[in-house]
Amino acid sequence: MTSQVVEPAHSPTLDARRAQMFPVLEPEELERMRRFGAPRRYADGARVLETGKPRPGMFVVLSGVLRITGRDGHGHDMLVADLPAGGFSGEVGQLSGRRSLVDGVALGELEALLVEPDQLRALLVAEADLGEKLMRALILRRVGLIETGAGGPVLIGSPSSPDVARLRSFLARNAFPYLLFDPASDADAHALIERYAPRPEDLPLVACPDGTMLRNPAESELARCIGMLDLGGEEAIYDVVVVGAGPAGLATAVYAASEGLSVLVVDARAFGGQAGASARIENYLGFPTGISGQALAGRAYTQAQKFGARMLIPTEVVRLDCKREGDPIELTLSDARSVRSRTVVIASGARYRRPDCHNLQAMEGRGVWYWASPIEAKMCAGQEVVLVGGGNSAGQGAVFLSGHASKVWMLVRGAGLAASMSKYLIDRIAQIPNIELRTRTEIVGLSGARETGVESVRWRHRDTGREETRAIRNVFLFLGADPTIEWLKGCDVAHDDKGFVTTGVGECLPLETSVPGVFAIGDVRAGSVKRVGGAIGEGAAVVAQIHAFMARGNGARAPAA
């Protein structure tokens, strides 16, 4: 290798769990893996993996050493691991054939098994105990890459920039590693800005793993450069296309894929939906100490890929074309691509509600947030914040932010919280001194500019009309949402007067819409229980109904045993 190899960046996961991240397989385990892979030989110095390029599969070292390095954004290679005989390459992106986040070079003559993604998924299912060891390592390796930022894009801009926050939030919610360089303190970053982004509106600058430079990109442009929108198999006809990667959609993906159906999941933002933005869910079955929405959704996202579900995030379905009898359903995507499927599951949830507030939309992503993650919490550390909403998500957000902000002003339109929030959260909020609840109060105005973000917030008491303005730079909105159904209009899917999709009418299956083969689950469905547990239950139940629909002569596959 010609580039300099330096010591890896500090990773708490790598330091604490190296043995689990890089286990060495026993000879007996290697023998069990042989039927899933094909032998390959590489000469000394051969590049087996390259950051930002498609990877052929997992490499299981039989003899020699495979050196794995990550890139630090300054032209240096960070040593990740030297994999001896019994070691194996890969992280969770391996399950879906995503582009490589690391480089891999043979040290000496290298003999390895190449296990392609479909065979890796077969191995994980067929060899349960060995699969558990492999899966744990793949997950922990992705965590380590996120902690070090190796392999992902490099964001160049001020950490306080609203657009930097927007891109960081997008990458974090999709569990993708990245590095952030501040040009005020990093000479290399400053030089890149002078060369590629001379105008303020060009910032932040993004260096993609393949060397492409982007100027203040949209999330979809960033996703394309890091391979998140690689689809492949455009001519394929899926058994199920799931629109929406919230809890309902992810549950469908897990159960359908595990039963042998071919599944594609499409989402416009990130996996997890609104639940993914919850700081802590404490009343979900089986988690007595609570779990963040991001962690719960992340597990389901990985589990779905383990069974072979394909993910296309972020992209939006803009049109659903109902099939003629015997033809597949066609879905048109926002990038003009189309996909075809025997069945469609509408799990698109709902769009965040916006209060009637001056300058609100202009400030979205610039101090106005619809979730509260550690990124936003760090930005408002020691500052006052405003949180609007009185449901459970709002309560969880207020509790989380109270540990970072100097004060949380919690605004609700109603007379209190009891009608919309669980009692345990109401009691907890009452005990936190830096949360101040303002009832019968609504936000009415924001001041600020695109370059600087929110500068002040104005709210009004609904009964007295008294207004108050405070110098606050971050506003968190948890106001619920309205169903996302615009993309269904071309297919005339029936819905109620509030826009929620109706199911189970007449001879339809319980979760089937007015259009045969099109199902609806979760928050978008009329009559659904607006709870994470309810959404997951519907996601599981709809798979049995898909089998029943397909068994009626619609290209069925028998359910797996």
Q: Where are the domains of the chain?
A: 5-148, 154-225, 237-351+482-551, 361-479
Q: Kindly tell me if the per-residue pLDDT of 277 is higher than 90.
A: no
241 or 14, which is more confident: 241
Q: How far apart are CA 215 and CA 207, in angstroms?
A: 9
Instruction: Tell me which residue has tokens 């002569």.
Output: 553
Q: How far apart are CA 516 and CA 508, in angstroms?
A: 8
Q: How far apart are CA 416 and CA 127, in angstroms?
A: 54
pLDDT on residue 282:
81
Q: How far apart are CA 300 and CA 306, in angstroms?
A: 10
pLDDT on residue 9:
58
Which CATH number applies to 154-225: 3.20.20.70, 3.40.30.10, 3.40.50.300, 3.80.10.10? 3.40.30.10
Q: What is the mean pLDDT of residues 115-126?
A: 94
Q: What is the mean pLDDT of residues 186-203?
A: 89
Q: Number of C-alpha atoms within 13 angstroms, CB side, residue 330? A: 13
For the ranges 97-111, 275-289, 321-335, the maximum mean pLDDT occurs at 97-111
Amino acid at 499: G
Q: Number of C-alpha atoms within 13 angstroms, CB side, residue 529? A: 9
CATH 1.20.1250.20 assigned to domain 237-351+482-551? The reply is no
> Across all residues in the chain, what is the average pLDDT?
90
* 3-state percent helix, strand, coil for the chain, nearest multiple of 5: 30, 25, 40
pLDDT on residue 40:
97
SS3 331: strand
The model carries a pTM of: 0.83
Q: What is the mean pLDDT of residues 45-60?
A: 94
- Among the residue ranges 281-285, 346-350, 452-456, 531-535, the one predicted with the least confidence is 281-285
Identify the DSSP state of 326. Answer: T
Residue 356's pLDDT band (boundaries 50, 70, 90)? Answer: confident
Q: Class for domain 361-479, per CATH?
A: alpha beta
The radius of gyration of the chain's CA atoms, rounded to the nearest angstrom, is: 25
236 or 467, which is more confident: 467
DSSP-assigned letters across all residues of 445-469: EEEEETTTEEEEEEEEETTT--EEE
DSSP-assigned letters across all residues of 166-187: HHHHHHHHTT---EEE-TTT-H
Q: How far apart are CA 486 and CA 320, in angstroms?
A: 10
pLDDT on residue 561:
36
Q: What is the mean pLDDT of residues 420-440?
A: 95
Q: Kindly tell me if the per-residue pLDDT of 225 is higher than 70.
A: yes
Using one digit for the tens of pLDDT, what is the confidence trace for 387-396? 999 998 899 9
Write down the architecture of domain 5-148 according to CATH: Sandwich (2.60)
Please provide residue 460's backbone torsions phi and psi, each rounded to the nearest 5 degrees: -135, 140
- 5-148 and 154-225: identical CATH topology: no
pLDDT on residue 1:
36
Structure tokens at 294: 């991001």
Q: Strand 205-207: give its sheet, edge to edge.
A: 179-181, 154-156, 205-207, 213-215
Q: Strand 475-477: give its sheet, edge to edge.
A: 368-369, 475-477, 384-388, 407-411, 435-438
Residue 59's pLDDT band (boundaries 50, 70, 90)? Answer: very high
Q: Kindly tell me if the per-residue pLDDT of 557 is higher than 60.
A: no
Q: How far apart are CA 519 and CA 306, in angstroms?
A: 24
What H or E segment, with its residue span, contains residue 437?
strand 435-438
Residue 203's pLDDT band (boundaries 50, 70, 90)? Answer: very high
Q: Strand 467-470: give its sheet, edge to edge.
A: 441-449, 453-461, 467-470
8 or 486, which is more confident: 486
